[in-house]
Structure 1
Amino acid sequence: MAGGKRDKIRMSPEEVADFLASSFKVQVATVGKDGGPHLVTMFYALLDGKIAFTTYRTSQKVLNLRRDPAMTCLVEDGVEYGELRGVALHGKGRVVEDIEELMKIGSVVGSRMAGLPVPEVGEPIDPALADGIRQAMSKRVLVVMEPDRIASWDHRKA
C-alpha cells in the first residue's frame, strides 16, 4: 500500500528523535530462557541518541541479554486512537559495566525519580546526590538499545 495511511503516519527521523527525547518511560522486551518474551517498563535517558537505562546486574532482563542480546523497546503516547503515537525499536541490548557511563544515565534517571531538576546527560550534579547515585550504580549495569530496525507512527498526522 505505497503512499497509504501507513506512510502518512510514519514519523520522520527528526520526529522520532524528538519523540524519544521528550519521553522517559520505555517498555523493554527481552527473550526469556523458555523463548518467550520478558516484558518490563523502565525509566530511560538518551545516550548519544540511543535509549539507555540502568538495572540490577542480576535482573532477569540482563540474564536474558547475556544469553541472547535480542531486545525490542516501545515508547508510546496518547489516549484516543487519533492521538496514538509511538516508536518501536528492534535490535540488540548492549550491557555496559563502565561506572562513568552508568553515572551519565543514573544521574538523569535518579534525579527524575527523586523529583529533582533533571540534568542533561553527562552534566555535573550536586556532589551529595552524585555520591548516592554512585553507590546505587555499584550494583547496576547500563543497557543501551542498539536498534537495527525502527517503526514509528503518529495518528495525529492522519
Structure 2
Amino acid sequence: MSGQRRGTAIAMTEGERDAFLRSQPLCRVATVGPSGRPHTSALWFVWDGTALWLNSLTRSQRWADLERDPRISVIVDDGGADFLRLRGIELQGSAEVVGEAPRKGAPLDELTVPERLFGEKYMGGEFRYDGRHGWLRVRPEKIASWDFGKLSQRT
C-alpha cells in the first residue's frame, strides 16, 4: 500500500484512521461505468483493520461496474460547514467478490468477521442474509486521510 505523500500535517494516524472508519455509518463508492465515466453511490460498510467490506446488491450498477472493472475509490468523511471539523479518508484499490453472490449464508470462514462487524454496526447484533446482496472486499492500495482540526493544534 502506498503512503500519503501530501498533506501529512493533517493526516490521521493509523489508530485515528481505524477508529474513524469503524465509527462512520456511510461511505461513497466510485466505480468506472460502462461508458468510462464514474458512477458514485452511497453504501454501508465495515472496516476490519486491513480491508473495507461492502455489502452490495448484486443487481446494481455498482456490482456490474466492478465485475467489468474492479478499480474502486471510496470516500468516508464527516464534518460540515466548519472547516476545522472536516475529516475524511479516501481508499483506492480493487474490489473482489468474496463468497457466494448473492449471499445466502453458506459457511465461509473468510466472511465471519465482516458479517459479525456488519451485524453489530447496522443490524442490532446479528447479520441477516436476504439473498440479494454479496460481499466485496477492498484491500486498499492507497489511503489518504485528512483531519483539518489538526491545523488548530499546530503552533
- Pairwise same-fold verdict (TM > 0.5): yes
Q: For residue 58 of structure 1, give the secondary structure of its aligned residue in structure 2.
A: coil
In 2, Cα distance between equivalents of 1:27 and 1:53: 11
Matched AA of 1:28: V
The number of aligned residues is 138
The structure where helix makes up a greater share of residues is: 1
Distance apart, 1:85 and its partner CA: 0.6
Runs of 4+ in 1 over 6 A off after TM superposition: none
Amino acid at match of 2:140: P
CA distance in 1, matches of 2:116, 2:17: 24
Q: Give the TM-score taking structure 2 as reference length.
A: 0.77
Quick one: distance in 1 between partners of 2:64 and 2:30? 13
Unaligned runs of 5+ in 1: 119-124
For the aligned residue pairs, the C-alpha RMSD in angstroms reads 2.2
Query: How far apart, in 2, do the equivalents of 1:49 and 1:25 lie?
Result: 18
Alpha-carbon separation, structure 1, partners of 2:63 and 2:112: 18
In the alignment, the residues of structure 2 paired with residue 88 and residue 33 of structure 1 have an alpha-carbon distance, to the nearest angstrom, of 23
5+ residue gaps, structure 2: 1-5, 101-105
Distance 2:16 2:120 in 1: 26
TM-score between both structures, scaled by the size of structure 1: 0.76
Q: How does 1:1-158 map to 2 (within 5 A)?
A: 6-79=7-80, 80-98=82-100, 99=106, 100=108, 101=110, 104-106=113-115, 108-109=117-118, 112-114=121-123, 116=124, 118=125, 125=126, 133-134=128-129, 136=130, 138-158=131-151
| Percentage of identical aligned residues | 29
Distance verdict in 2 for CA 1:141–1:102, change over 3 Å: farther
Give how far 1:6 is off.
Answer: 2.2
Deviations for 1:116-148, whole angstroms, at most 9, x for unmatched residues?
A: 3x4xxxxxx4xxxx6xx13x0x22210111211
